[in-house]
Amino acid sequence: MKIAVVGATGMVGHVMLKVLEERNFPITELLLVASERSVGKTMQFKGKDHIVIGLEDAVKARPDIALFSAGGGTSLEWAPKFAEVGTTVVDNSSAWRMDPDKKLVVPEINASELTENDKIIANPNCSTIQMVVALAPLHRKYKIKRLVISTYQSITGTGVKAVQQLENEYEGVQGEMAYPYPIHRNALPHCDVFEANGYTKEEMKLVRETQKILNDKTIAVTATAVRIPVVGGHSESINVEFEKEFDLEEVRQVLRETDGVVVQDDLETNSYPMPRFAEGKDEVFVGRLRRDESQPQTLNMWVVSDNLRKGAATNTVQIAEYLAKHRLVSA
């Protein structure tokens, strides 16, 4: 397959290339695509040099699939141009997620909805992906009534500038700021910009995207998203109220049998998910499973995943794998 990686020079783009190589995706021709300032740079894939090209040249090359991680503005402008020449776009930005005509896909949950006519496919927000992977099988069995979510999010979700800010602060060096305050030895309850209702865009993504992916607008969702000085991945405290009664050991078994989920829930050995151990892995780690003793039919859980992998690059590549396997690409 002829594959284009748009935003190849960015943080997620680098991880995307790594995941494509690790999973041995069937590539006959690879196009590394970036903004004009990066055109002409050389990057390696499977030990071979590739020259970065611009978006216009990439569209002319008519790739089978274009994996986008170049920001919402670029996606809104260029994804339709790729789609017009028959390319299937899998987009990592928020540009198309809530478009009623576009599928919002986590392969373990709803890849079966994809057809050959879906030329622009949206990849959900990183914090949403890891959460719904763990929640979908529980929703099917017990039906979720309400979610109360608190996230503890890695600075890698902001990008290279944030990583540099933390390193500068750790070393006592003055530098460019990705955040309005220091992040070292701090926690910022401010992920993305604030909306009119007082919630941030990140918090509202958890609300809207969860309902769309699980195809259930009756689920009540409220969230608080916090940025912490961690690199390995996002962590989430999730309080889940079900419509049906559940058995705690049955919940553990359902999760153990779920593709892409690893249960780490042994208090005797202090086994529970942590971002330092999730980093570089594709799975969603679930632990601290316990009843909410303040109200019935309610579960507390702790969910951790590498936001650059399953939260972005890996989920994108898994969608591409599904398209290839089921011959849904027609460029």
What would the pLDDT profile of 78-98 be if each residue is shown by its tens digit? 999 999 999 999 999 999 999
Residue 246 is predicted with a pLDDT of 98
Architecture, CATH, for domain 2-124+312-325: 3-Layer(aba) Sandwich (3.40)
Expressed in angstroms, the distance from the first to the final Cα of the chain is 10
With a cut of 60, say whether residue 185 has pLDDT above it: yes
Active-site position among 14, 50, 139, 234: 234
pLDDT average, residue stretch 167-193: 97
Active-site position among 50, 126, 139, 191: 126
Of 93, 67, 74, the C-alpha closest to 192 is 93
Outline which parts of the chain fall under CATH 3.30.360.10: 127-307
Q: Does domain 127-307 have CATH number 3.30.360.10?
A: yes
154-171 pLDDT per residue, tens? 999 999 999 999 999 999
Residue 222 is predicted with a pLDDT of 98
With a cut of 60, say whether residue 210 has pLDDT above it: yes
Mark whether 234 is an active-site residue.
yes
Distances (CA, A) of 207 to 57, 65, 312: 38, 29, 18
Outline which parts of the chain fall under CATH 3.40.50.720: 2-124+312-325
The CB-based long-range contact list for 12-16 (8 Å cut-off, 24+ gap) reads 12/69, 12/92, 12/308, 12/312, 12/313, 13/69, 13/70, 15/308, 15/309, 15/312, 15/313, 16/67, 16/69, 16/312, 16/313, 16/316, 16/317
- The strands making up 261-263's β-sheet, listed across from edge to edge, are 220-227, 144-153, 234-242, 298-305, 284-291, 261-263
With a cut of 70, say whether residue 302 has pLDDT above it: yes
Quote the radius of gyration of the chain (alpha carbons, Å).
Answer: 20
Is residue 111 within 8 Å of 322, Cβ to Cβ?
yes
96-142 pLDDT per residue, tens? 999 999 999 999 999 999 999 999 999 999 999 999 999 999 999 99
For residues 84 and 119, give the distance between their C-alpha atoms in angstroms, rounded to a whole number: 9
For residues 121 and 76, give the distance between their C-alpha atoms in angstroms, rounded to a whole number: 12
Is residue 240 within 8 Å of 297, Cβ to Cβ?
no
230-242 pLDDT per residue, tens? 999 999 999 999 9
Structure token pair of residue 250: 């049955």
With a cut of 90, say whether residue 290 has pLDDT above it: yes
Strands 220-227 and 29-33: unpaired
For residues 148 and 210, give the distance between their C-alpha atoms in angstroms, rounded to a whole number: 12
Mark whether 184 is an active-site residue.
no
Q: What is the dihedral of CA 209, 191, 92, 102, to 10 degrees?
A: 30
Single-letter amino acid, residue 77:
E
Given pLDDT bands bounded at 50, 70 and 90, which one contains residue 331?
Answer: low
- Which residue is it, tokens 């005509």? 101
For residues 263 and 118, give the distance between their C-alpha atoms in angstroms, rounded to a whole number: 34
With a cut of 60, say whether residue 318 has pLDDT above it: yes
Query: Is the dihedral angle over the CA atoms 134, 237, 214, 128 positive or is it negative?
Result: negative
